[in-house]
Structure 1
Amino acid sequence: MRSLYILHGPLRRGVLARPCHIIRRSKFSGRPALVDTPKTTLLPTTAARTRFAPSPTGYLHIGSLRTALYNYLLAKATGGQFLLRIEDTDRTRIVSDAESRLYEDLKWTGLSWDEGPDVGGQYGPYRQSERLELYTKHANQLMDEGRAYRCFCTPEDLDEMKALNMQDGSAPLYNGTCSHIPPDQSRRRAESGEPHCVRFKCEDHAPFVNDLVYGVYKKPGKEDDFIIIKRDGYPTYHFANVVDDHLMEITHVVRGAEWLVSTPRHVAMYEGFGWKSPEFAHVGLLVDKKKQKLSKRHGDIDIASWRDQGILPAALLNYVMLLGWSHGRGEKGHSEVMDLDEMINKFHLKFTKGDITVNAKDEFLQKAHIRRYMKTAGRSDALEQLIPGLESWVRKFEDNRTANANSNGDGGLVLTELGTAIGPLVPLARPSHDNPAGADTVASRSYLKDLLDFDIKGYATPRDYLMRNVHLLWQIPEKVYEASLSADLDQQRGFFVREDPDAPLGSTSDPPRTVHELTATLRELVRGIAEADWTKQSIDDAISPFVRSVYSNPTTMPGVQVWGYHLLRWVIAAMRPGPAIIPSMALLGRDETLRRMDMACEVAERIHGKPMLACH
């Protein structure tokens, strides 16, 4: 019989040695498994019962959302049931609103459950703190059968034991002192109130685990006699997990690879009870580009933060699904863009082995789902879905602006979030009658919808969208006009208007002009457009011939260049890059456009009211 070798590393597993075959550690990390068989062979042939069992010690993050999603997809793809179970036995670390936030976040993403604390089910209760009698009953069963025992060692005893083991260079395992206490004596000591825990009696070696992703895994060395009931009477995670999964008839457990090292304990308990264990599938750990486990600092923000950033639920689920799963090699022509129904139809159990580096594909998927939604639900309905996120960020920027204005008496302070100074909201963007009665809104919803409709291709998140379109929502402070014009004048020798388009560029028939003269001419052209005729086409017809005739002589390159569109962008957006300017003018409205032109004229007269050196 071939020998069993143990490969060391974060995901250690047993491998049967083969002659003349060297197994490298890279064999266990980073490459998706081959998928060259029909999907039906990559799923169980019977309905799967799966569960998501979070602890309310924190909020839902993308790693835990991925676990929930994979279990949900497996259940739905096989016609089974998906359960939600709250594992709240770690009473010291519970966050008061974590459970309610969990329900809110999961429902927002579109995931639902067939059984759970809030919907009930025949296998309840679904909150572990309400199942303590069951754990006590099963712990007593193990003690009666000689598979577990009470441990009366104090924390000080255990610390001393650990220190001695470390001095000897041994593993810090429990030495089994209390395993030799006769059952009757153990029972009497417990009944007298002596503090104790309950330990599971392990064999010399941990059992094998047959994992659907990593194959055969065996934890090297001797397994500790681990605790199953703590001194406070609550079960440990491992024990409650096993009891609950069995009693709730869970058939498949999909979870992060960090739990693989603990799974031999679970299998040992299943064997100790004489129960059949569920199928296990451990998916790769999510890491950042430096191969560090995700933390809040490295992008593992909670789901509420993703929602606040404006990502669509379908885009987030799609993004999370692809962190460790793919259609597989040989499956050509399959789009990565999927809604929840498509995920169910395409799901299989071939996951990527090894750590999964979190990527930045969320922006691509967000834009793809927006385009999809606009085709399926209609443009208007799709835009309505984006309005709440946009409103939330407008409020944040408005609060920032007014706070700065109140503290300094100047509403034009530079805001870090936007990268530029802003004034009040433009008149058309201010709250008005178009908002629902009693709505606590900070901006006109109809204007926000028009803004989204105008530049939907540039939308990824509300924050980035507002930064791109900042001057279509907020007025431009005078000092921003001054700073942007001064910076541009440093790069110019002079300006002229090409009155004769057939004459050579820079001929003496084109006298030098000031920016004030150019701006004033532009303003008069705009004033000639009536309010009733204020459309993109009428604006274009009125000003484009003049704009195309304005040239400059830059200091950074030889020859002259068309400068009219640059001038127009300074007047309307203070040189800030963004959407096309003439459509922006149509959106802003005639009054706001002329107000900006008046201010630009004043600034230009003050800074550049006299001609510069001739540019010929």
Structure 2
Amino acid sequence: MHIGGLRTALFSYLLAKRTGGQFILRIEDTDQKRLVTDAVTRLSEDLRWAGLQWDEGPEVGGPYGPYQQSNRNEIYQEHAKALLDDGTAYRCFCTPQSSAADSAVYVTSGCSQDCSRLPSSASRARAEGGEQQFTVRLNQPDDVRKRTYPDVVYGKIKRLKRSASPSASTDEDSGLDGADTILMKSDGTPTYHFANVVDDHLMKITHVIRGTEWMASTPLHYDLYHAFGWTPPIFAHVGLLLDKDKAKLSKRNADLALDVRGLREDHGVLPETLCNFLALQGWSNPQKSDVMTMPELVENFDLKFTRGNTMVLMEKLWFLQKNHVQLQCERARYGDEAALVDVLGQVVTEVRKAHADFAATESEDQLVEYCKGVLLADDKSYHNAAHFVERNWYFFCSTEEVKRRRLKSAASELVPAVDIDSLLQDLMLTYDATTPYADVAADLRSKAPAKERLTTMERRAARIHASLDLLIWQRSAPSTAKAESIPFAEHATDTEAVARSLVREADAGDLVKEYKIWQKALMRQLRWKLAAGTPGPGMDMVMAVLGHQECCERLGIMPGAGKEW
């Protein structure tokens, strides 16, 4: 399924859910020459993956089945006979090769023998004799120039001017103008146009959303509704999707696979991301934010489409991907374990591929839990699983690999390394990060409403952060200051307040400056030793994810007995 097809289906789905209607899947396989093996199965899988579960259709059933057109031929034959009986349609016995150069009207109608003038009895006799194949054609309506063809987006649709080139082909054509158009082919099967109109009426379709490439067929479809005396549905045509060169999107261009399965399997695009992205292509979003979940899309959807074609900018896709992963991580923090199933599954799979040795040392549950910790730590950088695992490589490799990569970067020179190592020695061997300043977590909770519920990893990181802060103050503050009594619960993020509590007001500025030098040097040293200088989450979170044992190994410190974070 091309993303253009999914967008059309998505618009229909959103309208159905917005109005309390039904979203119907119908398999339109009248053109037997173009059938592809397993196409129906693959299409159904793509729709389900995207979250577009149909209310009626194959595998689901419904009151107006069957929902596969190749199983409805008797219905089409019956309705074609009704049009023949009332003279709205006629049998054409011309072969595809025949033409009439001396008669323009026969050429434009595709009928070279003026079959519409045959008496009905003669036409029926020739057909029943079985000696000649025939097609069923629609007579051009007498009042064709007075008819109107309304569309929600484009207003009134005009009929195409009739072609002067001969055409007696029975092939499907989305650009037919309706006059003497073939309804039933010589093999007794319906054309796309005829089958769709009959099925839309019998299945009680109220709205049809489709691409503008089908606008040329709309007058024919209205004429068919008029011929049967039926009320047509509401039509809404949406523009085509174009690339940066304003060319129609193909399934694969130079930048990205544009079929649903390719985006899903090759590029790790999430269903929430793709639906959000496609909904914005040609629809006038009434909200300020473009980031919307499926329920939000349903709530806000209407038929206010923009006229004209839409240029697809893939940068928007990755922007939405990042935001949807953050939303899912936030839901996971609130206890929704199912929120991360898709993205976490992709990350675990990628870790198994890119870091097989690491993955082999963990049980399935341990690996999933560990990857979840990494994902929650660095969710703001998520692009897709492959990019995420590559960016966060240092979480999934050995201490030796980190040391090897350190050679490509340099440690901090703001403070002598020996002093930094001494400070870290204090932290790793003598400071219990599990108990001091436990209220830091509560403090963070009150200061960050968006993270009302901190994960275990985040609480651990908060305590490590508090521990590091305390050690820095102890090193930077004068020996006369009582650093042990620093009021972290009230001033954890206010360095000026902490400085004033330790020294005289006049000296607070110098102490803050010294503190910041130490803090910057420590963070650089930690990032160099733990992650070989690679950018990523805050070092408190990196240490919380890696754990006490691994941090000790990478820092070159023998861990204390029974020490855990």
1:374-397 residue CA offsets vs partner (Å, 9 max, x unmatched)? 66x551545643244333354346
Let me know the Cα RMSD of the aligned residues: 4.1
- 2:211 corresponds to 1:249: no
Distance 1:64 1:189 in 2: 42
1:105-139 residue CA offsets vs partner (Å, 9 max, x unmatched)? 33343334332232322222222111100111111
1:351 maps to which residue?
305
- 2:249 corresponds to 1:294: yes
1:321 maps to which residue?
279
Higher mean C-alpha displacement, 525-534 vs 582-591: 525-534
Structure 2 counterparts to residues 53-202 of structure 1, below 5 A: 59=1, 61-157=2-98, 174-177=110-113, 179=115, 180-190=117-127, 191-202=129-140
Contact 1:176 1:225 in 2 (8 A): no
- 2:494 corresponds to 1:572: no
- 2:349 corresponds to 1:395: yes
2:395 maps to which residue?
472
Structure 2 counterparts to residues 273-284 of structure 1, below 5 A: 273-284=228-239
- 2:222 corresponds to 1:267: yes
Aligned-partner residue type, residue 187 of structure 2: D
Structure 1 pair 80–389 and aligned structure 2 pair: CA distance change class (3 A): closer
Structure 1 pair 579–116 and aligned structure 2 pair: CA distance change class (3 A): same
Contact 2:3 2:259 in 1 (8 A): yes
1:509 maps to which residue?
none
SS in 1 for 2:137: strand
Structure 1 pair 541–251 and aligned structure 2 pair: CA distance change class (3 A): closer
Q: 2:158 aligns with which of 218, 242, 247?
A: 218
Contact 1:196 1:231 in 2 (8 A): yes
1:463 maps to which residue?
386
SS in 2 for 1:262: helix
1:240 maps to which residue?
195
Distance 1:580 1:231 in 2: 71
1:351-373 residue CA offsets vs partner (Å, 9 max, x unmatched)? 21111222343344444445555
Shift of 1:565: 4.8
Distance 2:275 2:534 in 1: 35
1:566-597 residue CA offsets vs partner (Å, 9 max, x unmatched)? 55434333333222345323322344445545
Contact 2:378 2:537 in 1 (8 A): yes
2:407 maps to which residue?
485
Distance 1:495 1:320 in 2: 46
Structure 1 pair 520–74 and aligned structure 2 pair: CA distance change class (3 A): closer
Shift of 1:198: 2.5
Aligned-partner residue type, residue 153 of structure 2: V
Distance 2:412 2:157 in 1: 76
Shift of 1:240: 0.2
1:37-89 residue CA offsets vs partner (Å, 9 max, x unmatched)? xxxxxxxxxxxxxxxxxxxxxx3x43223222322333333333332222122
Shift of 1:290: 1.9
SS in 2 for 1:344: helix
Shift of 1:263: 0.7
Aligned-partner residue type, residue 213 of structure 2: E
Structure 1 pair 433–303 and aligned structure 2 pair: CA distance change class (3 A): closer
1:10-33 residue CA offsets vs partner (Å, 9 max, x unmatched)? xxxxxxxxxxxxxxxxxxxxxxxx
Structure 1 pair 463–382 and aligned structure 2 pair: CA distance change class (3 A): farther
Aligned-partner residue type, residue 463 of structure 1: A
1:227-251 residue CA offsets vs partner (Å, 9 max, x unmatched)? 2222332211111001111112222
Contact 1:383 1:453 in 2 (8 A): no
Distance 2:107 2:551 in 1: 76
1:265-313 residue CA offsets vs partner (Å, 9 max, x unmatched)? 1112122222222221112222222222222224563334444455554
1:431 maps to which residue?
362
Structure 1 pair 565–181 and aligned structure 2 pair: CA distance change class (3 A): same
2:371 maps to which residue?
448
Distance 2:345 2:295 in 1: 30
Distance 1:495 1:303 in 2: 47
Distance 1:103 1:289 in 2: 30
Contact 1:526 1:594 in 2 (8 A): no
Structure 1 pair 230–430 and aligned structure 2 pair: CA distance change class (3 A): farther
Distance 1:155 1:476 in 2: 75
Contact 1:546 1:564 in 2 (8 A): no
1:258 maps to which residue?
213
Contact 1:481 1:570 in 2 (8 A): no
SS in 1 for 2:6: helix
Normalization by structure 2: what TM-score? 0.69
Structure 1 pair 579–457 and aligned structure 2 pair: CA distance change class (3 A): same
Contact 2:252 2:259 in 1 (8 A): no
Shift of 1:213: 0.8
SS in 2 for 1:81: coil
Structure 1 pair 314–424 and aligned structure 2 pair: CA distance change class (3 A): closer
Aligned-partner residue type, residue 18 of structure 2: A
Distance 2:260 2:413 in 1: 55
Structure 1 pair 547–178 and aligned structure 2 pair: CA distance change class (3 A): farther
Structure 2 counterparts to residues 8-19 of structure 1, below 5 A: none
- 2:544 corresponds to 1:586: yes
Give aligned pairs, total: 463
Q: 2:185 aligns with which of 210, 222, 230?
A: 230
Distance 1:581 1:364 in 2: 25
Contact 1:310 1:390 in 2 (8 A): no
1:337-363 residue CA offsets vs partner (Å, 9 max, x unmatched)? 444444333333222111122234334
1:507-545 residue CA offsets vs partner (Å, 9 max, x unmatched)? xxxxxx9xxx99998997787479997973488479979
SS in 2 for 1:296: coil
